[in-house]
Amino acid sequence: MEFDKKTYKQEFENALAEGSIRKSNQFFKVKLFLKKGENSLLIAKSIKDLKPAKGQPEKLYWNYWAITISYYSMLYAAKAAILTKGYETNNHTAAQIAVGYLLVPDQIEQEDLQILQQAHKIFEDEYVKYFEDARKEAHTARYTAIKTYTEKRLEEIYNNAQKFVAKIALLIQE
């Protein structure tokens, strides 16, 4: 979905009403989800960089999993960040909605953070696009039989996952 804070607000309220987003005070999970995200990213890198030996599946099949694990690293980091705001999500779409609504500051909040010289805390809408893109690619990698990935596309998804997880870690560790 194209980023529009008002749309994300409405989607958030709808998801809250239907129960796919719910209030939570289980803040102990924040560090657990973040660690799960960071370690999943390390696993994705190992699979991405793997050179299959004779008798192993061809590289394409490893790439499917590298993309999927890269996305899941983002999902776990997102769940950590969402929990810092007092919410949990039940599905992938709800997580994207919560990220867009809870983490991307509006213009006034951005200006305040810049005045306070805390611009590093700004979670830009491009991170929401990274999440959405990775979510769609991971879904395709898991559920279609013919999609192939170039090394360039795999690198793009992995690099976006690195940026996403690092940004969430920076936001949480403050």
**Residue-by-residue pLDDT tens, the chain, 174 positions:** 456 788 889 999 999 999 999 999 999 999 999 999 999 999 999 999 999 999 999 998 899 999 999 999 999 999 999 999 999 999 999 999 999 999 886 655 555 445 555 555 556 778 888 999 999 999 888 888 766 767 888 999 999 999 999 989 988 885
pTM greater than the 0.95 cutoff? no
The SS3 assignment for 46 reads helix
Give per-residue pLDDT as tens, 88-127: 999 999 999 999 999 886 655 555 445 555 555 556 778 8
Which pairing describes strands 87-89 and 21-23: parallel, antiparallel, or unpaired?
antiparallel
Q: What's the pLDDT at 150?
A: 74
Look at residues 9, 34, 57, 2 and name the one whose alpha carbon lies nearest to residue 172.
Answer: 34
List of domains in the chain = 5-172 (1.20.120.330)
Spatial distance between the Cα atoms of 152 and 159, rounded to a whole number of angstroms:
10
Spatial distance between the Cα atoms of 127 and 100, rounded to a whole number of angstroms:
9
Spatial distance between the Cα atoms of 135 and 71, rounded to a whole number of angstroms:
6
Backbone angles phi, psi at 75, to 5 degrees: -60, -45
